[in-house]
Chain A
Amino acid sequence: MAVTTRTPGVTAGRLDRETLTSNFADLHGELSPHEAHVAADRCYFCHDAPCITACPTSIDIPLFIRQIATDTPKAAAKTIFDQNILGGMCARVCPTETLCEQACVREKSEGKPVEIGRLQRYATDVVMAEGTQPYQRAKPTGKKVAVVGAGPAGLSCAHRLAMYGHDVTVFDAKDKPGGLNEYGIAAYKSVDNFANKEVDWLLSIGGIELKQGQALGRDIALADLQNTNDAVFIGVGLDDTNKLSVPGAELSNVTDAVQFIANLRQSTDYTDIEVGRNVVVIGGGMTAIDAAVQAKLLGAENVTIAYRRGQEKMNASRWEQDLATAKGCTILPNLQPHSIAGNDTGRDTGNNAVSAIKFEYTTSTATGLQGTGETVSLAADQILMAVGQTLDGAQDGIAVKAGKIQVEGAGRTSVDGIWAGGDCASGGDDLTVTAVAQGRDAAEDIHAHLTSGD
């Protein structure tokens, strides 16, 4: 019998290739030139615009929109890249509904902000399509900087340093650069291999050497980097994930949501990706939403997101939550995992697969979250854990605060000559755009330090 959405267990090929292709098509789509003009005309060109303040990279939004309106999209793109070299990716992945578009005065006046994200994409796509690099390297300074991690933080830092004429070496543990742009972002937000193309484009400034498969602490030592470079930037993200600690968490098909997404992102043929019939995702952030939506798009019959606190506490924006429900996922708040049951098949081979998960209802009290004692069981042949990522292997000697590398000012760590930024550093909010901002600011600080020596 052919595999369908109702086939029990975890299996590939629930939907045909054509359906999968359409399911994973570009979520927001491009604006045509005319649509871009109409959208751009809605911008009021506010004084000291609140959207600029709301953008973590402080892009001059009214200016770039006016440049689109006056038929100079390349100038618009330059305005964007000046502040955010990954403006193309950010246009696709930023939760604009909680950033720039939330601050738009038209959001306030009519509940319909200027479509800043899509306009940003319109402008940056023009330059990306041309493949031209708008920046030239300054004369080589002879200074060397090591950047660890080729995610948004590391790339943004590297580009800015290269622009100032420093020689940059980027070390990254994985096979491909891009960090979560390449491995984490939902497939329908970054179609057509955009992450990869964007990295190539960024590197075309020159002066950046990329070394993949080089993990700090495994293949390279921090002390060596310090000895052979004038400065070091750490942007390693949060490469480890939290696990559930309830009975049954070791059963098979209880897996990591980030890993599930990474497999999907690296696949060229989604008919090969396995997914359950009844999928339960545990968590309340962007990762939980992305895992759930993509499981649904792969053909899971039932997808439930179980979150331990009230829905208003979810880290995923309201817009993201609505996306999940619109795609047919169910969000169940106030449920904490109690235990996971196996189906007993393969018990002897040690390959007992999950068949159900029991949750306990919770309430928030003055002393914190509390179980009510009441429970509910959901059928589950696949459980995806999206309960947070953590710093993998903090480096000796660098102060860590609340699980992240402690930074002051523009990313200065407790060790002289070492900067950090992005998800791995304290103070951020785990967004691509914040990582870009921190990488850029650290680069400015490193440049100032290398040229003035303070």
Chain B
Amino acid sequence: MADLTTDFLGIRTPNPFWLASAPPTDKEYNVRRAFEAGWGGVVWKTLGSEGPPIVNVNGARYGAVFGADRRLLGMNNIELITDRPLQTNLDEITRVKKDYPDRAMIVSLMVPCEEQAWKDVLERVTETNADGIELNFGCPHGMAERGMGSAVGQVPEYIEMVTRWCKENYNKPVIVKLTPNITDVRFAARAAKAGGADAVSLINTINSITSVNLDTMAPEPSIDGKGSHGGYCGPAVKPIAMHMVAEIARDKETAGFPISAIGGVTTWRDAAEFMAVGAGNVQVCTAAMTYGFKVVQEMISGLSDWMDSKGYTTTAELVAQAVPNVTDWQHLNLNYVAKAKIDQSLCIQCGRCYAACEDTSHQAIWMKEGRVFEVNDSECVACNLCVNVCPVENCISMEPMAVGETDPRTGQKVLAEYANWTTHPNNPSVLEKA
């Protein structure tokens, strides 16, 4: 059986699955049960400065986007950081860490953008014996209005400055949690690195309005008839998070910089994919909020089975395996030609491929007598839409054409050589050079 033990910043945990900083990690009672269920580590719910506790709204704080059968596909929230007293949290963190020395205990922090505020809180965190800290530069609502959270995460100079304060005042790993509410996440990651961070984690939640109640004309979740944007998370955000993780992993300036991936991790497969694009481990929030702590057991068994089937013996072996294959559009091989192929023995004749291809652009599927659907290779551009709309798995596939064959759509022979846009005759900059 594959060894799931994962070393992230020198913190060894029995598996790469950590709970992200959020309500499931807001108190001792929860975190103990999470560890009993098998989670490799937790990032404690974000702590603020000493002082009057944070207040939350007293109405609905979560909104939802559903798929079939009310499957939760996306969730948003307008919750703030922990609303319990600082000392209570610190005492609990100390106790739990003592009882679970083999699990990661990371303390998430968000205090005002002043060095003294950070010094004060770091002194107290040090006493808990936690394994490290995570700087919450991502919370998109409420705290941002007070100059914290994503208000810091959106300004690379602030990220660098606060990270530096933390490195100077704390001697264990510092992880910087990034906000996705930014145009190019690489700038934020570079700033964290420049400030001396040991790793970045991403993503925090995405600014969102999940729905509008058409009776009250208020966004959901609504509080007394008004709603504010909240942070979006869950399965729906995974593609966005994965892109951001991959961007940092392949950026020259941050390549190899440790990443803890967050955003929509719901199954072992999501975790494996995030690790393949460069994450050293993953953090989970919505899946645990939706299904309870027990989901980690499927993640553990699934990742382990899959690693066995592929011959990976440690999680480190799989990290960043897909990074070399993430590239820019201009480097894609334009000489590669594929065609859609419909397996008639699997086809159930629903005609969705036909409607999609016909009404989208290419009119490359024929509907023949008796509802037989066939691809017209002279029109097919291999866009993959038919594959995506087909309800039967593997019924339609994209078959590459062999070198030397003639593409009936273009009348050109398929070439063996790799050639991309940078050398394409239609590229104006190529024309200029010539």
What is the interface of chain A, defined by CB distance below 8 A to chain B? Answer: 34, 37-38, 41, 44-50, 105-106, 108-109
Contacts and interface: CB of A to CB of B under 8 A. Distances in A.
A46 B352 contact: yes
B349 A108 contact: yes
Interface of B: 68-70, 348-352, 354-355, 358, 367, 371, 391-392
Contact of B348 (A34, A38, A105): A105
B69 A48 contact: no
Given A50-B371, A109-B392, A45 B352 contact: yes
Contacts of B349: 46, 50, 105, 108
B68 A47 contact: no
B351 A48 contact: yes
Contacts of B351: 46-49
Contacts of A49: 351
Given A44-B391, A109-B392, A38 B69 contact: yes
Given A47-B367, A105-B348, 14 more contacts: A37-B69, A37-B70, A44-B352, A46-B352, A47-B352, A47-B355, A48-B351, A48-B371, A49-B351, A50-B349, A50-B371, A105-B349, A106-B348, A108-B349
Most buried by B among A41, A44, A45, A50: A44
A105 B68 CA distance: 19
Given A44-B391, A47-B355, A105 B69 contact: no
B330 to A, nearest CB: 36
Contacts of B348: 105-106, 108-109
A41 B73 CA distance: 15
| Interface SS majority for chain A | helix
A41 B68 contact: yes
A243 to B, nearest CB: 44
Contacts of A37: 69-70
B352 A41 contact: no
10 contacts: A37-B70, A38-B68, A44-B352, A45-B352, A46-B350, A47-B351, A48-B351, A50-B371, A106-B348, A109-B391
A109 B350 CA distance: 10
Nearest to B66: A37
A159 B8 CA distance: 74
A48 B358 CA distance: 13
Nearest to B365: A47
B350 A44 contact: yes
Contacts of A48: 351, 367, 371
Contacts of B352: 44-47
Contacts of B391: 44, 109
B220 to A, nearest CB: 15
Q: Which 3 A-B pairs have the closest CB atoms?
A: A47-B351, A41-B68, A47-B355
A41 B350 contact: no
B228 to A, nearest CB: 26
Contacts of B358: 47
A431 B196 CA distance: 79
B350 A47 contact: yes
A56 B392 CA distance: 28
Most buried by B among A49, A105, A108: A105
A106 B348 CA distance: 8
Given A47-B367, A109-B348, A41 B354 contact: no
